[in-house]
């Protein structure tokens, strides 16, 4: 009897831990290691439109494009998670194999990183532990060249956390991850 009790307590604890729902249950079900949630999609991003972001007021990845091929990508975290922070893993690249130039980290802390990713030319990986600040990167492409963004938040697909302005409207959430953004004009 004692042996059965000793074995059943850890199993009970394991079953409780596996059934805990912190609100991310659906995103966990959709998780794949490369953060792909839906088939890749393409969308337009408006030129010279900026998104006002209040750090610590919501989790998101904010993407902007400026005339001449200048890109700006930032991550933020929700105030409810400020004690633990948001773990972002973001890949940016060009589908045509063109390199990204003038890649610069923005407001990264010691536990954040921005580096070339693997052996794929022109692909960069931004890994951040974002709390009450904004972390990000800027880079350049040739004018009007599309980029693709693949993002994970806390190890799951970041589909609902993409933000960009396209066709005159703010897009809160993406139809796919990865998402290809094509500048509207330049």
Q: What is the CATH number of the domain that holds 154?
A: 2.60.40
Q: Which domain holds residue 81?
A: 32-183
Q: Is residue 8 part of a domain?
A: no
The closest of 37, 75, 61, 21 to 157, measured between CA atoms, is: 37
Q: Is residue 107 part of a domain?
A: yes
Report the pLDDT value the prediction gives residue 137, as an integer from 0 to 100. 97
144 vs 65: CA distance, rounded Å: 9
Mean per-residue pLDDT of the chain: 80
Q: Is residue 7 part of a domain?
A: no
Contacts of residue 42, Cβ cutoff 8 Å, sequence gap at least 6: 146, 179, 180, 181, 182
Q: Is residue 6 part of a domain?
A: no
Structural domain total, the chain: 1
Q: Is residue 4 part of a domain?
A: no
Give the pLDDT confidence of 139-153 residue by residue, as tens digits: 999 999 999 999 999
More confident residue, 4 or 172: 172
Give the pLDDT confidence of 40-60 residue by residue, as tens digits: 899 999 999 999 998 878 899
Q: Is residue 133 part of a domain?
A: yes
160 vs 59: CA distance, rounded Å: 9
Q: Is the pTM of this model over 0.85?
A: no
What is the arithmetic mean of pLDDT over 78-84?
Answer: 69
What is the arithmetic mean of pLDDT over 26-35?
Answer: 40
CB 63 within 8 Å of CB 45: yes
3-state DSSP assignment of residue 127: strand
Q: Is residue 5 part of a domain?
A: no
Q: What is the DSSP letter of 11?
A: H
Question: How crowded is residue 179: how many other Cβ atoms within 10 Å of its Cβ?
Answer: 26
Q: Grade residue 185 by pLDDT with cuts at 50, 70 and 90.
A: confident
Q: Is residue 138 part of a domain?
A: yes
3-state DSSP assignment of residue 29: helix
């Amino acid at each position: 009897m004692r042996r059965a009790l000793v074995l059943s307590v850890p199993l009970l604890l394991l079953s409780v831990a596996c059934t805990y729902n912190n609100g991310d249950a659906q995103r966990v079900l959709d998780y794949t290691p490369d953060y792909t949630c839906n088939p890749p999609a393409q969308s337009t991003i408006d030129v010279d439109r900026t998104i006002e972001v209040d750090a610590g007021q919501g989790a998101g990845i904010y993407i902007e494009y400026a005339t001449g091929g200048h890109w700006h990508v930032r991550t933020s975290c929700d105030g409810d998670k400020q004690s633990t922070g948001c773990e972002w893993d973001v890949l940016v690249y060009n589908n045509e194999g063109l390199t990204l130039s003038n890649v610069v980290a923005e407001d990264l802390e010691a536990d954040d990183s921005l580096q070339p990713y693997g052996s794929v030319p022109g692909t960069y990986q931004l890994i951040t532990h974002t709390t009450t600040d904004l972390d990000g990167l800027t880079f350049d492409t040739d004018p009007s060249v599309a980029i693709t963004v693949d993002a994970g938040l806390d190890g799951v697909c970041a589909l609902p956390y993409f933000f960009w302005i396209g066709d005159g409207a703010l897009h809160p959430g993406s139809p796919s991850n990865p998402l290809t953004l094509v500048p509207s004009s330049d």
